[in-house]
Amino acid sequence: MTYMNYAEAPHVVTWELTRACKLHCQHCRAQAASKRHPDELSLNEMYWVLDDLATSFSRPPVLVFTGGDPLERPDLPDIIGAAVDRGLVTALAPSVTPHLTDEVIREWKKAGVHSVSLSLDGMNATTHDRFRGFPGTFDRTLEIADVIVREGLALQLNTSIGPKTAMQLTHLASLVKFLHVTSWELFFVIPVGRARPVDALSAEQIEKALLWLADFALDQPFRITVVGAPHWTRVTHQLLPQSPMRMIAREARGFAFIDHLGNVYPSGYLPVSAGNVRHRAFSDIYRRSALFRMLRDARQFEGACGTCDYRDACGGSRARAYAMTGNLVAADPGCIGTQTG
């Protein structure tokens, strides 16, 4: 097994700049609003956090600016410039609204942005636009994806996997390949924010989707990652047992989330805060907070997640366990191992 020292440094930090957004997506984790919150972190407050991210880790994390829609902040160019000037690998996850123009993509390229991620939640306009809450977003997503690739930025597509999209995986995969992505990230729906339990897959459905995805990933030229189903580690290792098993970044272990008010979470899908960057350095929260340290210790996990052979490499989704049981260390209800004992 190959381990990264995720206890000392995160691999990815996702930063929610605002919860304002013009879309109304069905499963929105942030329950985005039409207007910005008056207590959002200011640019000057963000400078201090960016300094900490750039200097407190031997390998600074990849920084993903998200929302809501980050383009709802008029100071976004200053935020991007501050991150890039500090040497942070910077990515943007915007919403596809009229704010996201071809010129914006070109400006981001000039500013030093590394990659842009777009959401693709259906194989056609009927399913995607219904999910996003506005007509025309599917067609515009494909147009913007082409601009991103032509401008030489890395393109990541993000897909929420629920009952409807799980049935479209084969068609979605074909579309993803056609768009010349650098990576495809699949978010297995967890019932938080606007998502309801009926919007999430059962453990058996998740397993089926992961098995299909592992087989599909074998000969793809782009990276495939999974959020909300860390047993992806087990599935891929069982498919290719001769390959070294790698510990993936997940909640509190290689990944952290900063919200628009400065609260730090193990994941955007796990609404339990470990502290606030207005009062405590992010690096200190990540390394030393009781919550993050507890979630990195697989010996704390209960039920099947506590006895599984893949306990250290996977550990189950703490976000799903909390959302569905109210217990941070319960067995992940989305893994078939917890169903069979």
Q: Quote the CA–CA distance of 153 and 109 in Å, as a whole number.
A: 7
Q: Average pLDDT in the 92-110 region?
A: 96
Q: Does the pLDDT value for residue 39 go beyond 90? A: yes
Question: How buried is residue 164: exposed, middle or buried, by Cβ count under 10 Å (0-12/13-18/19+)?
Answer: middle
> Residue 31: its pLDDT value, please?
63
In this structure, whether the domain defined by 12-299 belongs to CATH 3.40.50.2300 is answered with no
pLDDT-above-90 percentage for the chain: 72
Q: Average pLDDT in the 83-93 region?
A: 98
Q: Average pLDDT in the 95-117 region?
A: 96
> Residue 4: its pLDDT value, please?
61
Sequence-distant (≥ 6) Cβ neighbours of residue 169 within 8 angstroms: 161, 209, 212, 213
Residues in the chain: 341
Q: Would you kindly state where each structural domain of the chain is located, as residue ranges?
A: 12-299
> Residue 264: its pLDDT value, please?
98
Using pLDDT thresholds of 50, 70 and 90, give the confidence band for residue 240. Answer: confident
CB 21 within 8 A of CB 69: yes
Structure-token pair, residue 195: 């998502």
Q: What is the pLDDT of residues 188-239, one digit of tens each?
A: 999 887 778 888 999 999 999 999 999 999 889 999 999 999 999 999 888 8
Q: Of 60-64, 184-188, 189-193, where does mean pLDDT reach its minimum?
A: 189-193
State pTM to two decimals.
0.92
Closest CA to 21 of 37, 38, 43: 37
Using pLDDT thresholds of 50, 70 and 90, give the confidence band for residue 242. Answer: low
Q: Quote the CA–CA distance of 172 and 266 in Å, as a whole number.
A: 29
